[in-house]
Amino acid sequence: MKKGLVFLGPPASGKGTQAQRLAEELEIACLSTGALLRSALSVGSPLGEKAKPFLDRGEYVPDEIMVPIVIEWVSNQSEGWLLDGFPRTVHQAEALDRALESNQPQAIVLHVPDDELRKRVIRRLECESCHRVSRSGDDEFCPDCGGLLNTRDDDSPEKFESRLSEFHRLVFPTIQYYCDRGRARIVNGVGSLDDVWRRVRI
């Protein structure tokens, strides 16, 4: 199995956009756990029903729900893979490492100051069909698939602040976990999409 990547960053940092672009460049599979959960919620699947109480409160979905789903997905990727937004806790990172043994992933971490994140989230839109992220002021339809662009439910001010707080509490230690093992690269996430992309792909 080719080596994998994990892509981490706070909400509204642009990690979903950059992660997808990197996966396409490297020609590897990409799993966005956020998009997976929002899709499951919208169709009322068993995963969506389990995740709904946590998403409604702007909290991360517990490890016992997410870890088995992600590890099963990773185990089916033989040509390399990228995880967008996972692992979000040290326990998830440890579980992923145990599952992969000697083939443990590298982490790419987008760093964006909190004040910049708050400015971004006010303008963020997402395609209801393919989940491409755009900004208000763009066309009301997705340039990729033609789906309707709309504000995400979890981008309300209250839910965003809750998610940002959860990021600081849970994901910062996870980033430190990868840094301590020499498996993290911190990327400045401020600037245009193309500016950040040039830093990501170096």
CA 184 remoteness from chain centre = 16
Looking at the chain, how many residues does it have? 202
Report percent pLDDT > 90 for the chain.
Answer: 45
pLDDT at position 160, please?
A: 87
pLDDT at position 124, please?
A: 75
How far is residue 114's CA from residue 96's CA, in Å, rounded to a whole number? 28
Closest residue by Cα to residue 66 from 37, 45, 44, 29: 37
pLDDT at position 138, please?
A: 58
Looking at the predicted structure, is the pLDDT value of residue 135 above 80? no
CB 95 within 8 A of CB 71: yes
Number of domains in the chain: 1
The model's pLDDT over 86-133, given as tens digits with 9 standing for 90+, comes to: 998 999 999 999 998 878 999 999 999 999 999 888 777 888 788 777
The model's pLDDT over 14-27, given as tens digits with 9 standing for 90+, comes to: 998 999 999 999 99
Q: Which residues are catalytic?
A: 15, 88, 124, 152, 163
Average per-residue pLDDT for the chain: 87
Cis peptide bond upstream of 87, omega within 30? yes
Looking at the predicted structure, is the pLDDT value of residue 61 above 70? yes
Q: What is the CATH number of the domain that holds 13?
A: 3.40.50.300
pLDDT at position 63, please?
A: 86
Across 32-41, 136-145, 174-183, least confident range: 136-145
Taking residues 170-186, what's their average pLDDT? 96
pLDDT at position 172, please?
A: 93
How far is residue 66's CA from residue 60's CA, in Å, rounded to a whole number? 10
Taking residues 1-28, what's their average pLDDT? 90
pLDDT at position 58, please?
A: 77
Range of the domain at 89: 5-200
pTM exceeds cut of 0.85: no
Helix, strand, coil percent values for the chain (each to nearest 5): 50, 20, 30
pLDDT at position 154, please?
A: 64
CA distances from 68 to 2, 8, 48, 178, 187 (A): 20, 19, 15, 21, 29
Cβ count near 174 (within 10 Å): 24
How far is residue 44's CA from residue 46's CA, in Å, rounded to a whole number? 7
